[in-house]
Amino acid sequence: MKISQCIDNQPQERKVAFFAGSFDPFTRGHEDIVLRALRLFDEVVIAIGINPDKRGFLTIEQRKQWIEACMASHDRVRVVTFSGLAADAARDNGACCFIKGIRSMQDYEYEMQMAQANHDLCGLDTVLLYTAPQLAHVSSTLVRQLHALGHDISEYIPNAAPIYLLA
């Protein structure tokens, strides 16, 4: 299914967007992209990619718990984990497209390449949502670094985030 089929006004099956990433941890920037995507789609699947060669800040289980807590009041959000190609996971989860947040030209260049590869692999298009200007500097890397240095990270993570997981 093409994106034009996914977001037009024709009656169709449920429109599911696939938001893949490491989300280590899930930030206010991620939350903003999900909430905006919910205006366009019937459901958003937040898909946490598993890379067995990479040790994360939070474990996969903690990331899933963190995101589920952050999105608990949104019944049209589903959180899954996957290993392997995001294209395969998107198809397996019934997605009509990928969604990605863009903070900078560097993000755009990278996401354009990924969008083309994903389209080649599974035929799904990618919807790019520009980050809200007040959140453009927020990244998981920033949150991890500030936390490691003992700084308050509350302005960078969703209000519902289970902060005890960072202990």
Residues 61-91 have pLDDT tens digits of 999 999 999 999 999 999 999 999 999 999 9
Specify whether the CB–CB gap between 66 and 161 falls below 8 A.
yes
Residue 137 has what pLDDT?
A: 95
CATH number of the structural domain spanning residue 116: 3.40.50.620
30 is catalytic: yes
Asked if residue 163 is part of any domain, the answer here is no
103 is catalytic: yes
Residue 3 has what pLDDT?
A: 46
Asked if residue 96 is part of any domain, the answer here is yes
Asked if residue 18 is part of any domain, the answer here is yes
For 37, 43, 135, 161, the CA distances from 138, given in Å and listed in that order, are 18, 24, 5, 15
Residue 4 has what pLDDT?
A: 47
Asked if residue 24 is part of any domain, the answer here is yes
140 is catalytic: yes
Question: Structurally, how many domains does the chain consist of?
Answer: 1
Asked if residue 118 is part of any domain, the answer here is yes
Specify whether the CB–CB gap between 126 and 95 falls below 8 A.
no
Asked if residue 164 is part of any domain, the answer here is no
Domain that holds residue 21: 3-158
ω into residue 25 within 30 of 0, thus cis? Answer: yes
Residue 6 has what pLDDT?
A: 53
- Does this model's pTM top 0.85? My answer is yes
Tens of pLDDT, residue by residue over 111-129, are 999 999 999 999 999 999 9
Indicate which residue of 4, 39, 54, 55 is catalytic. 54
Asked if residue 41 is part of any domain, the answer here is yes
